Structure 1
Amino acid sequence: MLDPRIYRAAFLPVLFALVLVGFSLRDQPRGVTTTLAPEAFDGDAAFRQLDRLATAAPQREPGSAGDEAVARTVEQGLRTSGFDVSVRRFDAQTSVGKRTVETVIGERTGFSSQRILVVAQRDAIGTGARAQLSGTAALLELARVLGSRTLNRTLVLASVSGGPAAAKELAEHAGGEVDAVIVLGDLAGTRTVRPVVVPWADGEAVAPLELRRTVETAVAAETGAGAGRTRPFHQFTRLAFPLTLGLQGPFNGAGLPAVLLSVGGERPPAADQPVSAERLTTFGRAALRSVSALDGARELPAPEAYITIERKLLPAGPIRLLAIALLLPVLLAAVDGFARVRRRHEPVGRWLRWVGVCALPFVLAVLLVRVMKLTGLLDAAPSVGGTAFAPDAIPRDGTALAALAAVFVLLVLGWFVLRPLVARLLGAVGDPASPGAAAAVLLVLCAVAIAVWIANPYAALVLIPALHLWLLAIAPEVRLHPLAALALFALGLVPPLLVAFAYARQFGLDPLELAWMGLLLVGGGSVGLVAALGWAIVLGCAGAVLAIIVRASGGGPAAEQHVTVRGPKTYAGPGSLGGTESALRR
C-alpha cells in the first residue's frame, strides 16, 4: 500500500516551505522606555500595607469574609487616591467551587479613552499567603502615586477574586478600548523564578513583543538583571497546547495584550513563601516604570502567535505552511494505499469500524470525565480557556484519587474487555496485519491531523512525526524487524511526551499532579469536547498501530507475502498500466 516514489516526491514542497520559514524571520521590536523616575513608589509604605492586609485577613478564600474585607480596604484606598470606584458582584467557578465574588475597579480618566489596565488578585488558598497579597499592596501604592499625575491614557486599577473566571469577566467588561494589561502577581517573594514577565494566553495568541519588552526593560532597569527568556521549544509547547496558570491568559485570549509581572514566575507562590520589603520596592517600581512608559507609547498590536529565536521573530504563517507540507507525504501515501487495497477488494470499511472500536475506550474516558463535572464530582474544574488553577489550589483528596482511578479502570476494561466485544458485535474482526487495517488507520490519522492543522498548526507539528514513523512501521512493503517497528512506534510518542514533560517542569508538577490537571481541564471544558474527542481518536489509532505491529511480528498476511515481480523493484511487470491482473496484485 506504500509507493516509495509518491512518498519521496511529496517531500519536495517541504524544501520550499523551509526556505519560506527562513525568509520569514524578522527583527524583534523594541520595548518602550520612560524618563520619569519611579522613586515615587514607596516600597516601605507598600510593605506596611501588606502587613496590615495579611494581619486583618489571614484567610482569603474566594468570596469569604477575609476576601471581602480586603476588597473594602482596596475600595477605600482607591477612593482616597482620587479614583472613581465601582464594584461588580458575580458568580464564578473558583478553586473552592462556585462562589459569589467581587471585582473592585478604580478608574482615573486621562486625555485619551484608551486604557491601561493593572490587575491584582487578592484571594488565596492557605493561611497568610503574604507573597500572593503583595500585588494588591503594590496596586494600592500605584494608586497613591498615579492618582495625582496627569495621564495621557485612562488608567484602570482592578482588584479581583476568583481566579481565571474573574479575569475573563473583567476582560469582557473592560469598559472601553484597552491598550495593555499588566497583572501584578508575587512582587515580594524571596524566591525568583524566571521569566518574571509571563506572556502566555489560554489560546494560540501571545502578548505582543512590544509589551513584553517594555516590562522586561523596566525590570532590568530596576533590578539590574534580565527578566529571563523562554527557550524556543518551550514557546512551541505553549502554542501547540495553550495552557497557563497566570491571570494574563484570559485577557490575551480575549484579544487584550497582557503580561504577568511576578518574581516567582507563572506558578502562584506557596502560602508560606517569605516576603521582602526590598523585593517589593524593586518590582513595584518596575511596575510603575512600565505603566509610565505605556502611558506615552503608541498603540500596541493585538496578541498573536509567534516564536522568538535569538533576536528574530517567526510568525505563525510559515509554520502553518510547513506543517501542511510535512503532512502531505503521509496524506498522499494514505490515499494511494487506500486505492491499492480497494483494488485488491480488501474490506476497508470493516477496518474503519475496527479503528473506531479501538478509539472507543478513550472516547468513553473523555465522556466519563465530563459526566463527573456535571454531577459535581469535579466541582472545582476550571472552565476558562486554557487558564488553569495552580496544582496546590485544588488539593488531591480522596475524590481526586477516585476520579483518576475510575478513568484508569475504564481505560483498562474498555481496551481488554469492551473493545473485543463491540468489535464482534459490529463485525469489525479479522487479522490486523492485513493491508486494509493499515490503510484504515492511516486514513483516520490523516483526517484527524488535517482537522488539528486547521485549528492549530503547532499542535499538528506534534502529531506529524508519529504519522511518518507509524506509516513506515505498519506498511506491508516496509519489512522491518519487530523490534525496529516497535522502536518507530515509540519514537512517534516522543513529541507529545516531551510536551507533557515541558509543562510538568515549568509548572513544577509530578506525574500525578499532571494527570490531575489534565483531568480538570477536560472536565471543566478548558479543553473543548471536540478537541478532547479528537485526541481520544488519536490515542485509539496509536493502540491500533501497536496491535498491527504486534500481530505482524507474530506472522500474518503481511509476513507471508512473496515477491511476484521479476526484475527491478520499481518494475511492476507487463500490462501494469492497463489494469491487468499483474497490476492488481501490486
Structure 2
Amino acid sequence: MLEPRFYRVGLLPVALVLVVVAFSLQEPPRSVRTTLAADAFSGSRAMASLDRLADAYPVRRPGDVADDQLAERIAGDLRGTGFAVRTSTHEGRTIEGTRDLQLVIGERTGTSSQRIVVVAHRDAAGPGSRAELSGTAALLELARVVGAPRRTSRTLMLVSTSGGSGGAAGAMALADELKGQDVAAVLVLGAVAAEELRRPLVVPWSNDVGIAPLQLRRTVETALRAETGLNGGEPRALSQTGRYAVPGTLGEQGPLVDAGLPAVLLSASGEAPPAADAPVSPARMQGMGRTVLRAITALDNGPAIRAQTTPDVVIQGKVVPAWAPRLLLGILLLPVLLALIDAFARARRNRIAIGPWLTWTVLAAVPFVVAAVVARFLGLTGLLPVAPAAPAPIATVPVSVGALVAVVLAGVLAAVAVRLPRKRVVKRAGGDPAAPGAAVGLMLVLWAVTFALWIGNPYSAALLIPALHVWLFALLPEYRPPRAWGMVLCVVLLIPALALGTWVAATFGLDPVDLAWTALLSIAGGHASPLSWLLWSVAAGAAVSGVAIAWRGRARAGDDDVEITMRGPVSYAGPGSLGGVESALRR
C-alpha cells in the first residue's frame, strides 16, 4: 500500500530548504553602549532602604493589608523624588487566589514621549524575603538618582507591582496600561541583591512563542559585564528551542513580552524567585544597581530598540531568523503527506475502510481530553482555589493531591467508557488493528495534528515529526517489523517528549509529581490554551493507537495467501495448464 517513491520525491525539496536555511544566518545586532559611569547609584543607601522596608513589612502576601500599605509608601517616596505618581486597583489571580492589587506608576517626563520602564514587584510568598524585596529597594534608589532636577531624553516610568511572587498579575495589568504607548524598553528587577548567583541573570523568556529583542538583551548584558564582570548566561540553542516548544516563564517579563513589549528580567537569582531566607549581599546590590543605571543611560541616549519578539535562535553567535526553522520543519511534513495521499488512494481503490479507523484513533484521545476538561473546570469554578494565569514557582502553590487524583480518575473512567465503542469500531472495520486501513487512518490523524501544531508553534510540532517519518514505515503492514522491534520504535519515538519533560523538570527543580501538578495548573489557569491541549490529547491518542498496531507485529507468512478451490482468474487456466496433450507432443 505504501509507495516509497512518493516519499523520496517529497524529500527532494528538503535539501533545497537546508541550503536556504544555511544562507539565512544573520549577524546579531550590536548592544547599545554608554561611556558614562553609573557612580550615582548608592548600594549602601539601597541596602538601608531594604532593611527598613523588610522590618516594616515582613509579611507581604499579594493583596493583603501590608502589601497595600507598602504600595502607599512607595508612592509617597516616588512623589518625594519628583515623579508624578498615579495608582490603580486591578483584580488579578495570584498565589492567594483572586485578589485586588495596587499598581503604582511614577512617571518623569523627558524630552521624548518614548518610555523606558523599570518594574519591581513588592510582594512575597514567604515571610521576610529580603532578597525578593531588593528589586523594590533598588527601584527607590534609582528614583533618587534620576529624579528632579535631572532630566532624561526619554520619559522614565518606575512601576511597583504586586502578584510577582507567582502568576505575574501585576505585570499583566502593566501590559494593559502600556498598550498603545511608545515603549523603548522595559527592565524588570528581580532579586538584584541575592548573594547566590543562578544563571541566566538576564532572562528574556515569554509565556508565548517569543523572546525579548536580542539588542536589548545584549545591551543589559554589556552593562552587567561592565559593572560586575559577570556573564549574563546567554541560553544555548537547545535551551532556546526547548523554551519555544514549551513556552512559559516564572519572571514578570513574560506577560510584557507576550504583549509585544521589549522586556527583560535582571535578577541575581535567575528566573525563579529566591527562598524566603536567601541571604543578600551589599556588593551584589551595588553592582546590580549600577548595572540598571548604566543600562538606562545607554537606552536613554541610544537609538530606539525594535520591539521584535519573534522566536529567533542564536547559534554560535549567529542569528537564525524565526522563519527558517518554520520553513524547514514545514517542508519535512511534505514527504509524509505525499506518501499518505498515495496510500489513501490505493486503499480507496481496493475498497479498504479508512473512516472507522479515523474514529478509532480519535476515540483513544477521549480520556486525555476529559482529564484536561476536568482540570480546566476546577480552575474556572474555583474548586481549585489557586490557579494563576501564568506559571508560578512550585513552592508557592502546594500540590493538591485531591485535584491530581480527580483529574487522573476522570481520565481512567473515560478510558473505560470508550473501550466498548472502540471495540465496536474495530469490529465494523474488519476486526483487526493490524489491517492496512488502521495504520493509514492513524497516520492521517497524526499528520493533521502535527500540521495544526506547526501552524501555531513549529517547535512543538518538531516533537512529533520524527514519529511521522518512522511510523510511516513501522506501522504499515508491508514494512512493519516484528512485535519486539515495533515496540522499541514506539518507545524511541517518545524520547523527544520525554527528554523535553526531563529538561523542564531539571530547569525548574521539579520531581514527577511537581511536573504533573505544573501541567494541571497550566490548564486550570488558562495558560495552556484549549486548542493546544486538545491537539496534544489527540496526539497522545494516536500514540496509544500506534502501540496497539505495533503490538500486533508483522503479518505472518501465509496470512494473505488464498486457498484455490477452483480455476479462475487467480490462476492460469490456458493451454497446457493440465499438462501435455497428445497434439502438443513432439512427433
Q: Which amino acid aligns with 1:281?
A: Q
Larger radius of gyration: 2
> Mapping of 1:124-139 within 5 angstroms?
124-139=124-139
Matched, 1:76 2:76: yes
Distance 1:2-1:358 versus aligned 2 partners, 3 A rule: same
Contact 2:112–2:153 (Cα < 8 Å) also in 1: yes
Q: Alpha-carbon deviations, 1:248-278, whole Å to 9, x = none? A: 0111110100000001110111111111111
> Mapping of 1:43-62 within 5 angstroms?
43-62=43-62
Separation (CA, whole Å) in 2 of partners of 1:339 and 1:413: 37
Q: Which amino acid aligns with 2:253?
A: Q
Contact 2:480–2:553 (Cα < 8 Å) also in 1: no
Separation (CA, whole Å) in 2 of partners of 1:240 and 1:432: 32
Q: Which amino acid aligns with 1:121?
A: H
Separation (CA, whole Å) in 2 of partners of 1:219 and 1:464: 40
1:91 match: secondary structure: strand
Q: Which residue matches 1:184?
A: 189
Matched, 1:29 2:29: yes
Separation (CA, whole Å) in 1 of partners of 2:169 and 2:63: 13
Distance 1:422-1:295 versus aligned 2 partners, 3 A rule: same
Contact 2:480–2:486 (Cα < 8 Å) also in 1: no
Matched, 1:262 2:267: yes
Q: Which residue matches 1:304?
A: 310
Matched, 1:343 2:342: no
Q: Which amino acid aligns with 2:520?
A: L
Q: Once structures 1 and 2 are overlaid, which stretch shifts more, 182-191 or 63-72? A: 63-72
Q: Which residue matches 1:447?
A: 448
Q: Which residue matches 1:196?
A: 201
> Mapping of 1:466-485 within 5 angstroms?
466-485=467-486
Distance 1:78-1:563 versus aligned 2 partners, 3 A rule: farther
Instruction: Give the CA deviation at 1:427.
Output: 6.8
Separation (CA, whole Å) in 2 of partners of 1:315 and 1:177: 25
Separation (CA, whole Å) in 1 of partners of 2:233 and 2:133: 23
Contact 2:194–2:278 (Cα < 8 Å) also in 1: yes
Matched, 1:292 2:291: no
Matched, 1:14 2:19: no
Q: Which residue matches 1:422?
A: 421
Q: Which residue matches 1:374?
A: 380
Separation (CA, whole Å) in 2 of partners of 1:354 and 1:380: 37
Q: Which residue matches 2:226?
A: 221
Separation (CA, whole Å) in 2 of partners of 1:93 and 1:338: 49
Q: Which residue matches 1:584?
A: none
Correspondent of 1:355 among 345, 353, 361: 361
Instruction: Give the CA deviation at 1:561.
Output: 3.7
Query: Which stretches of structure 1, 4 residues or more, deviate above 6 A after TM superposition?
Result: none
> Mapping of 1:137-536 within 5 angstroms?
137-148=137-148, 149-163=150-164, 164-174=168-178, 176-302=181-307, 303-383=309-389, 387-396=390-399, 400-415=400-415, 417-424=416-423, 430-536=431-537
Q: Which amino acid aligns with 1:234?
A: S
Separation (CA, whole Å) in 2 of partners of 1:150 and 1:323: 50
Contact 1:473–1:486 (Cα < 8 Å) also in 2: no
Contact 2:481–2:553 (Cα < 8 Å) also in 1: no
Separation (CA, whole Å) in 2 of partners of 1:284 and 1:410: 51
Matched, 1:86 2:91: no
- Structure 1 length as normaliser, TM-score? 0.92
Contact 2:426–2:433 (Cα < 8 Å) also in 1: no
Q: Alpha-carbon deviations, 1:53-110, whole Å to 9, x = none? A: 1111111011111111221221111011100000010111111100001010000000
Separation (CA, whole Å) in 2 of partners of 1:3 and 1:459: 29
2:128 match: secondary structure: coil
Contact 1:473–1:489 (Cα < 8 Å) also in 2: no
Q: Which residue matches 2:545?
A: 544
Instruction: Give the CA deviation at 1:213.
Output: 0.2
Separation (CA, whole Å) in 1 of partners of 2:72 and 2:374: 42
Instruction: Give the CA deviation at 1:468.
Output: 1.3
Contact 1:351–1:428 (Cα < 8 Å) also in 2: no
Separation (CA, whole Å) in 1 of partners of 2:56 and 2:275: 19
**Count of residues in correspondence between the two structures:** 555
Gap regions ≥5 residues in structure 1: 565-586
What percent of counterpart residues are identical? 48
Instruction: Give the CA deviation at 1:28.
Output: 1.0
Separation (CA, whole Å) in 2 of partners of 1:550 and 1:410: 26
Q: Once structures 1 and 2 are overlaid, which stretch shifts more, 166-175 or 236-245? A: 166-175
Separation (CA, whole Å) in 2 of partners of 1:287 and 1:435: 63
> Mapping of 1:90-101 within 5 angstroms?
90-101=90-101
2:364 match: secondary structure: helix
Separation (CA, whole Å) in 2 of partners of 1:136 and 1:120: 5
Q: Which has the higher helix share?
A: 1
Q: Which amino acid aligns with 1:542?
A: A
Separation (CA, whole Å) in 1 of partners of 2:192 and 2:160: 15
1:421 match: secondary structure: helix
Instruction: Give the CA deviation at 1:225.
Output: 2.3
Q: Which residue matches 1:575?
A: none
Distance 1:60-1:559 versus aligned 2 partners, 3 A rule: farther
Separation (CA, whole Å) in 2 of partners of 1:11 and 1:143: 59
Instruction: Give the CA deviation at 1:165.
Output: 2.0
Distance 1:222-1:115 versus aligned 2 partners, 3 A rule: same
Separation (CA, whole Å) in 1 of partners of 2:463 and 2:16: 21
Separation (CA, whole Å) in 2 of partners of 1:427 and 1:544: 12
Gap regions ≥5 residues in structure 2: 564-587
Separation (CA, whole Å) in 2 of partners of 1:452 and 1:109: 45
Instruction: Give the CA deviation at 1:238.
Output: 1.1
Instruction: Give the CA deviation at 1:425.
Output: 5.9
Q: Which amino acid aligns with 1:545?
A: G
Separation (CA, whole Å) in 1 of partners of 2:287 and 2:367: 53
**CA RMSD in angstroms, aligned pairs only:** 1.7
- Structure 2 length as normaliser, TM-score? 0.92
Instruction: Give the CA deviation at 1:324.
Output: 1.2
2:119 match: secondary structure: strand
Q: Alpha-carbon deviations, 1:311-363, whole Å to 9, x = none? A: 10001111111011111111112221111222221221111111121111111
Instruction: Give the CA deviation at 1:216.
Output: 0.3
